[in-house]
Amino acid sequence: MTDQLYNELRVIRSRIESIERGQEILIRADRKAVLAEILPSFEKDAILGRIYLLVDGVRGQRQISDELTASGFAASEATVSRRLETLRDLELVVLEDRTAAGKIYRKTQFDRALRLTHEVEQLLKAPAKAK
C-alpha cells in the first residue's frame, strides 16, 4: 500500500471513530429512554438475553447453541439464529463473519454506550417478577 493510500485510510478511520464517539455521547445522554425501549425485549425472552451475553465476535451460532445447552438452557441452532436476527433488528449486534460454525456476530456500540451487557446480566440475575 502506498503512503498516500495509507494516509487516506487513516483519515477515513479517524472520521468514522469521531462519528461513533459523537453517537455514543448522544446515546448516553438519553440512556434511560433508550434502555426503556430495549430492556423489555430481554425481560420477555430470557434466552434472548443469554444469547446476547454470549455474542463476542468469535463464537458462531453453533457454538452459542452448544454453550446454552451446556449451561442448561436448551436452544437449537435455529432458535439461536432467530434470536440473533432479533438482536440484529434491534441494532444490538452486527454480522462480523460467516464460517463453518455459522454466522458470527459482534455487539454494536450500543453495548458500550448503554452498558447493555451489565444491564442484561443484572436483569437475568433478578428474580422473576410476579404477574
Average pLDDT by stretches of 10, the chain with 131 residues: 87 86 76 92 95 95 93 90 96 93 90 94 77 41
Residue with cell 502506498: 2
The ranges assigned to domains in the chain are 3-125
pLDDT, position 52: 98
Task: Give the per-residue pLDDT at 129.
Answer: 55
**What pLDDT does 1 receive?**
67
Residue 130 has what pLDDT? 43
Q: In this structure, which topology does domain 3-125 adopt according to CATH?
A: Arc Repressor Mutant, subunit A (1.10.10)
Name the phi and psi angles at 96, rounded to 5.
-95, -40
Q: What is the pLDDT of residue 131?
A: 41
Nearest in space to 26 (alpha carbons), one of 114, 126, 121, 119: 114
Q: Bridge-partner residues for 116, per DSSP?
A: none
Query: In whole angstroms, what is the distance from residue 4 CA to residue 77 CA?
Result: 46
* Gap between the Cα atoms of 112 and 101, Å rounded: 26
Q: In angstroms, rounded to a whole number, what is the distance separating the alpha carbons of residues 78 and 65?
A: 9
| E strand or H helix at 99 | strand 93-99
pLDDT for res 18: 83
Burial of 13 (0-12, 13-18, 19+ CB in 10 A): exposed
